[in-house]
Amino acid sequence: MFRSSHYNANVFFTSPKLVAEDIITQQKFMEVPIKYPAKLTLRVVLTCIMAATGGLIFGYDHGVSGGVTSMDSFLKKFFPSVYEKESNVKPSSNQYCKFNSQILTLFTSSLYLSALAAGLGASSITRMLGRRATMIMGGIFFVAGALLNGLAVSIWMLIVGRLLLGFGIGCANQSVPIYVSEMAPYKYRGALNMCFQLSITIGIFVANLFNYYFSKILNGQGWRLSLGLGAVPAFIFVIGSFCLPDSPSSLVERGLHEDAKRELVKIRGTTEVDAEFRDILAASEASQNVKHPWRTLMDRKYRPQLVFAICIPFFQQFTGLNVITFYAPILFRTIGFGSGASLMSAVIIGSFKPVSTLVSILLVDKFGRRTLFLEGGAQMLICQFWQQIIMTIAIAVTFGTNGNPGTLPKWYAIVVVGIICVYVSGFAWSWGPLGWLIPSEIFPLEIRPAAQSITVGVNMISTFFIAQFFTSMLCHMKFGLFIFFGCFVVIMTLFIYKLLPETKGIPLEEMSMVWQKHPIWGKFLESDNPIQNDKMNSKC
Ligand code: BGC
C-alpha cells in the first residue's frame, strides 16, 4: 500500500501552482509504502461480530418469507385465491403459473421498498449522529415489524409489519457494513466485514429450519412463530448496538477527537496510532468541506465509486440467487416436489451458504477480492447452464410444455438440489459477501454515508424487482428463467475483470490510489487532471 495525499489534493484544488506541487508530492508519496500498526484485538473482533449480527435480521427475513408463503394454512388465511389455485381446488391451467399472484409477491417485496426509503434517509443520521444510532433505530423497527407480523389477523397487519421490517433492514444495511470496515484493521477488513454476510446466511438458514419445523405444528399456526421469532435476533442487535463504541472515523467526523483517538488506541491494541489518526483527521477535514454529499457524489472524480455503488448491488441481485432464497419451496413445488420436501430442500440449500461464506472469510484477505469474484462468477455460470438443462428436462418430462401436473423421479430431485447447492456456494463466497464488502471500503469518508445509501437503495430496488416479478417471470419465461440470469452473470464477471481494482490490504484512507493506478479508471481520472488540461489548453 502507498502513502497518498488524496485529501490534500482536494484542499488545494483551486490554485494551479499548489495543484502542481501537490501532484508532485503525490507522485513522490505514491512510492512510499506505509503501514498502520494494528493488532487483531479481542475488542475489535467482538465489536465487529456484534455489529455484524445486524445481518441476522436481514437474512432471517429473506429466509422466512418464501417458506411462509408456501404454507397452506398461511395462504388459506391471507391469500385464499392463491391457495385454491395451488391446492388444485381451482387448478391453474399452467403448472408454472399456479403461484403467480402479485398480491402474494407483494407480501415478500413490500419490505424492500421501505428498506429503500430507510436506506436513503439513514445517510444523514449515520453522518450526523453516528453509525451506532442508525443501527439501534434499525433494530427497534425490526422488533416492531416482526411482532406485528407474528400477531397478524389481517392483511394490513402483514403489510405494515413488512414495511417496519423494511425500515429496520434499510437502517441496518446502511450502517453496519461501513461501521465494520471503519473499525477493522485494514489487513483483516475483508474477513471482519464478511461476518455481516455470514450473519445474513445464518439468518436465512435458521429461518428455513424454523419454517420446516413450524409448518408441522400448532394446527397450522406455525407461520406465526416463523414470522414473530424474527424479533429475537433484532432484540439482540438492539442491545448489542447500545453497548458498541462508535467508530473513530465517525467520532472524528462529529468533532469528538479525543474520544476517537482513545477508541483507536483500544481497537488497534497499540499507542502507535498517530499515522492512522492523522489520515482520519485529514479525511474528516475533507469531509467537513463537503456540504452536499449527494451532489458531491456526482463529481467526475467520484465516478468510479458511483459506478460501483450502483453496479455491485444491481449485479448481486441479478445473479438470480434470491429466486432460490425466496422461492426455493415454490420453485420445487412447481417442478413436482411435495410441500415437506420443498421446505427440506430449502434447508439443505440454506446450509451451504454459511459454510461457503466461512471459506470466503478465510480466503478474502489472502487471495483478494477479484479472484473470488471471478471464480464465483464462473462457478455460477456453469451451474446455471446445468440447472437450466436439468430443470428444463425435469419440467418438460414431468409436466409437458403445457404444464399438466405429474410426478418427478427421485434421482432428478437429488440432481436439481445438488446443482443448486454448488451454484449457491459460488454466490456465497463471491457476490454475496463482496456485494457488501466492496462498497463499504471504496468510498472516501466525505461521500461514504451517501454512497452507501445508494448501494443499499439499489440493492433493495433490485431485490424488490426479483421478489415481485419472479412468479410472473416463471409463468411467462418458464424454464428460460435461468438463461436470463446466466446472461447477467457473464456481463458482471466481465465488468469485474475489466473495471475492479484489487482493494485487498489497502487502508481506507489510501484507497483513492487504486483508481489512479487502474489502467481504465486511471486514464478516466487523468483527463480530469488540471495540469494536463492546462497543457492541452496551451497547445491549442
Ligand atoms: C444479498 C441477499 C442474499 C443473501 C444470500 C446477500 O448479500 O444481499 O440479497 O439473499 O446475500 O446469501
Instruction: Specify the range with the lowest mean pLDDT, choosing from 39-48, 101-110, 386-395, 499-508.
Output: 386-395
Question: Residue 443 falls within a domain, yes or no?
Answer: yes
Among 200, 434, 485, the mutation site with the greatest number of ligand 1 atoms within 8 A of its Cβ is 200
What pLDDT score does 227 carry? 93
Task: Tell whether the model's pLDDT for residue 327 goes beyond 90.
Answer: no
How many residues are given for the chain?
Answer: 540
Residue with more model confidence, 454 or 11: 454
DSSP one-letter string for 390-453? HHHHHHHHHHTTTT------HHHHHHHHHHHHHHHHHHHTTHHHHHHHHHHHHS-GGGHHHHHH
The predicted-structure confidence for 89-136, as pLDDT tens digits, reads as follows 555 555 556 656 667 777 777 888 899 999 888 888 888 899 999 999
Report the b/e string of 139-175 with b at 16+ CB within 10 A. bbbbbbbbbbbbebeeeeebbbbbbbbbbbbbbbbbb
d(CA 17, ligand 1 centre) in Å: 49
Task: Count H helices and E strands in the chain, helices first.
Answer: 27, 0
Q: Is 193 in the pocket of ligand 1 (CB under 6 A)?
A: no
Among 198, 316, 458, the mutation site with the greatest number of ligand 1 atoms within 8 A of its Cβ is 316
Query: Three-state secondary structure along 180-218?
Result: HHHHCCHHHHHHHHHHHHHHHHHHHHHHHHHHHHHCCCH
Q: Is 70 in the pocket of ligand 1 (CB under 6 A)?
A: no
Q: Is 463 in the pocket of ligand 1 (CB under 6 A)?
A: yes
Among 111, 197, 198, the mutation site with the greatest number of ligand 1 atoms within 8 A of its Cβ is 197
* pLDDT band at residue 4 using 50, 70 and 90 as cut-offs: very low
Percent of the chain with pLDDT over 90: 43
- Residues sharing a CB contact under 8 Å with residue 229, sequence separation 6 or more, in sequence order: 146, 150, 210
How many CB atoms neighbour CB 107 within 10 A? Answer: 22
* C-alpha to C-alpha distance for 534 and 116, rounded to whole angstroms: 43
CATH of the domain at 451: 1.20.1250.20
* pLDDT band at residue 484 using 50, 70 and 90 as cut-offs: confident
* C-alpha to C-alpha distance for 515 and 524, rounded to whole angstroms: 9
What pLDDT score does 109 carry? 78
Among 325, 372, 485, the mutation site with the greatest number of ligand 1 atoms within 8 A of its Cβ is 325
- Residues sharing a CB contact under 8 Å with residue 344, sequence separation 6 or more, in sequence order: 212
Question: Residue 34 falls within a domain, yes or no?
Answer: no
* pLDDT band at residue 332 using 50, 70 and 90 as cut-offs: confident
Question: Residue 385 falls within a domain, yes or no?
Answer: yes
Question: Residue 11 falls within a domain, yes or no?
Answer: no
* pLDDT band at residue 498 using 50, 70 and 90 as cut-offs: very high
Instruction: Specify the range with the lowest mean pLDDT, choosing from 87-96, 167-176, 483-492.
Output: 87-96
d(CA 325, ligand 1 centre) in Å: 8
d(CA 271, ligand 1 centre) in Å: 38
* C-alpha to C-alpha distance for 369 and 385, rounded to whole angstroms: 24
Q: Is 512 in the pocket of ligand 1 (CB under 6 A)?
A: no
Which residue lies with its CA nearest to atom 6 of ligand 1? 432
* C-alpha to C-alpha distance for 175 and 508, rounded to whole angstroms: 16
**Grid coordinates representing 468?**
415481485
* C-alpha to C-alpha distance for 286 and 172, rounded to whole angstroms: 26
d(CA 54, ligand 1 centre) in Å: 13
Question: Residue 170 falls within a domain, yes or no?
Answer: yes
The predicted-structure confidence for 8-45, as pLDDT tens digits, reads as follows 433 333 343 433 344 334 444 444 445 777 788 999 99
Q: Which atom of ligand 1 is nearest to the CA of 357?
A: 12
Question: Residue 7 falls within a domain, yes or no?
Answer: no
For residues 250-274, average pLDDT: 92
- Residues sharing a CB contact under 8 Å with residue 233, sequence separation 6 or more, in sequence order: 53, 56, 57, 60, 203
Question: Residue 4 falls within a domain, yes or no?
Answer: no
Q: Which atom of ligand 1 is nearest to the CA of 313?
A: 8
Computed on alpha carbons and rounded to an integer, the radius of gyration of the chain in Å comes to: 24
**Grid coordinates representing 149?**
407480523
What pLDDT score does 10 carry? 38
Residue 174: give the domain boundaries.
41-539
pTM given for the model: 0.82
Question: Residue 309 falls within a domain, yes or no?
Answer: yes
Q: Please, are residues 226 and 151 in contact by the beta-carbon 8 Å criterion?
A: no
Q: Is 439 in the pocket of ligand 1 (CB under 6 A)?
A: no
Which residue lies with its CA nearest to atom 3 of ligand 1? 322
Q: Please, are residues 431 and 319 in contact by the beta-carbon 8 Å criterion?
A: yes
Please choose, from the candidates 175, 181, 163, the residue with its C-alpha nearest in 3D space to the C-alpha of residue 123. Answer: 175
In the chain, the number of structural domains is: 1
Task: Tell whether the model's pLDDT for residue 425 goes beyond 90.
Answer: yes
Q: Is 174 in the pocket of ligand 1 (CB under 6 A)?
A: no
The predicted-structure confidence for 368-386, as pLDDT tens digits, reads as follows 999 999 999 999 999 887 8
